[in-house]
């Protein structure tokens, strides 16, 4: 149980750290934003594959259950995207864009989109720590790293909409706490039975791959800095590979 609390506290804490940095850093250029996001995308790709999908295949011989889980996880977030805006519609970087588009209702939808993604992210970490598999910190570490810039992204649009700083911080903490719920939910579901675990691991992996492909990578290629973002992605991927190898 201790590892579940550590993971939950780490994921929530990373979001809060990102929120604090969001208050301190007034603006971030597209070049640095895309580079950092590219690095996080590489981390997420490695976490989804090495921390979730590969272990899912190792849990049993019914490979089709893993494939079905991956596709179901992606489809689940695809459905969420039908009712929530894409992350790259509001990034907090262009003041002119915000003057025309940043109505409070739209920003609240944006924040809801981030919040909804937190639950499956937390579940991914929780499933990977299930007591029927060897404790795996790869997924928790990968999500925690990408939670920092994500926490920064939540702060900017709320402040621009006129939400008071303290209320904005409370909202960011509440979003982080959703991930704590997700960690415990994923841990509980992953511990129910050995037969369910490969599907849950695949589902969590598919959800993470969907977010990376549909949200993070397109954002890093939208402002002319795709080369830097691509090398940052490769660096992020290899960073988590080396971290996992170091902790074996």
Phi, psi for residue 72 in degrees, rounded to 5? -65, -40
Indicate if the pLDDT at residue 156 is higher than 90: no
Segments forming the whole domain that contains residue 48: 2-246
Indicate if the pLDDT at residue 133 is higher than 60: no
C-beta of residue 170 within 8 angstroms of C-beta of residue 34: no
User: Rounded mean pLDDT of 201-227?
Assistant: 85
Domains held by the chain: number: 1
Q: For the segment 37-75, what is each residue's pLDDT rounded down to a tens digit? A: 888 888 888 888 887 888 888 877 788 989 999 999 889
Q: What residues contact 14, with CB distance under 8 A and at least 6 apart?
A: 143, 144, 145, 147, 148, 151
Please give the pLDDT value at position 146: 72
pTM of the model: 0.69
CA atoms within 13 A on the CB side of 100: 4
């Amino acid at each position: 149980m201790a590892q579940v609390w550590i993971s939950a506290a780490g994921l929530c804490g990373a979001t809060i750290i990102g929120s604090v940095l969001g208050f301190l850093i007034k603006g971030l250029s597209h070049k640095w934003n895309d580079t950092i996001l590219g690095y996080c995308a590489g981390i997420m790709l490695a976490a989804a594959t090495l921390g979730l999908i590969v272990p899912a295949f190792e849990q049993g011989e019914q490979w089709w259950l893993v494939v079905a889980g991956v596709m179901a996880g992606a489809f689940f977030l695809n459905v969420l995207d039908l009712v929530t805006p894409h992350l790259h519609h509001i990034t907090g970087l262009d003041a002119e864009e915000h003057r025309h588009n940043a109505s409070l209702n739209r920003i609240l939808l944006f924040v809801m989109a981030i919040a909804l993604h937190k639950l499956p992210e937390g579940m991914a970490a929780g499933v990977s720590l299930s007591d029927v598999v060897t404790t795996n910190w790869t997924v928790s570490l990968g999500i925690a790293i990408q939670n920092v810039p994500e926490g920064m992204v939540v702060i900017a649009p709320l402040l621009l909409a006129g939400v008071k700083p303290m209320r904005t911080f409370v909202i960011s903490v509440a979003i982080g706490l959703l991930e704590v719920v997700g960690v415990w939910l994923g841990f509980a579901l992953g511990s129910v039975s050995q037969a369910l675990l490969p599907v849950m691991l695949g589902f969590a992996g598919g959800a993470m791959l969907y977010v990376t492909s549909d949200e993070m990578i397109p954002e890093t290629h939208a402002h002319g800095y795709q080369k830097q973002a691509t090398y940052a992605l490769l660096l992020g991927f290899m960073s988590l590979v080396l971290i996992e190898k170091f902790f074996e």
